[in-house]
Structure 1
Amino acid sequence: MLAPEGSLQRGHNVLNERGVAAFGALFYLARLHPPADDLSFPLAVLNQYAMRRLLSPVDGTVPGVDLSEHARLLRADARSLWLTLMGQPLFFSRLARDDLRQAFVSDLMVQLYQTLGRTIRGNVPTRIYLIDAAFAPRAANLRETAEDTDRTSVLVAGRQLISRLLDPPGPGSLPGRRLEHEIAGATWGLLDNLFETMDWGR
């Protein structure tokens, strides 16, 4: 079956007569990328920005704190972020800001993970083939001797992101941190295994 990635990502499970995934493999002919007219990424980044501020509110009871000035700065920062997102082409390799690159990679990993999940229903083994060289340009070029980095490959950046999420808490960590680690392991452990077993074709 040949289909746009988005139609499988959150669609119905495609099962065989035994009630398990009907796919044995998934081929990505093109690397995932938001369409030029899709505003979901800049809106998601703005929402994340707003949530960070809401979770760390300014204490208006502290003497000398000017809430109106903080509100003005918040609005100016959000506007600047919006103009940054809307004023440049959305290319992974050209995103200079680390926070925007991480948001881009996070979005892509979620999409990849959701679609991958369609191929393993019922504990079915699957293989994922990333055909587009854009996933890892250096690995795809047999004449290239340098390895891909988090600046050239969304896969390397994704692997680093998942590793940070699954980084075990140190001794004496607070219960909340340990709980976050357990949730991250249950949520992202399968994708981590995918990265650990990936064949880069070298």
Structure 2
Amino acid sequence: MADPFVGEIRIFCGTFIPNNWAACDGATLQIQQNTTLYSVIGTQYGGNGSTTFMLPNLKGMAPLHQGTGPGLTARALAATAGVSSVTLTESTMPAHTHGAMALDAAGDVPNPSNAVWAQNVSGGRNPVPQPQYVATVNTVMNAALLAPAGGGSPHNNMQPYLPLQFMICLYGEYPSRP
């Protein structure tokens, strides 16, 4: 497929955009100088439609085929969605519990592996670290002892990525309509 269609998008690994192509960076173009491309993509990516139109902006975006499919939500051509960072809140997580068990007995195990919290029996003026776990479960700990944790800051939501150049054909073969 040597001759590209006007409006075709390709990935290019060079450090420049070749002649007759433009970067998919959301640039605003004049309709008068780009009537052929305008007739293919119109203003679906922006522009005023009387003197200007915009190219698709794939900076920071993952391209996705438009349409629907089994188990998928509808994806409209030129619609954008998603965010690069997310703040995880209690309301955005599925309901769940973190059960904690404790025993009202002196601890006799030095680490929490396969054990539960127990009384820490250090005392005196110079307390020495004592085992604070016990291997037997006696009762469920009061849920009020567990509280939400976290700082409420957004975390990165981006999949691993490799930046490449997406470019759109400005001049080429005009695509025929079915």
TM-score by length of 1: 0.20
User: Higher Cα Rg: structure 1 or 2?
Assistant: 2
Q: More strand by proportion, 1 or 2?
A: 2
TM-score by length of 2: 0.22
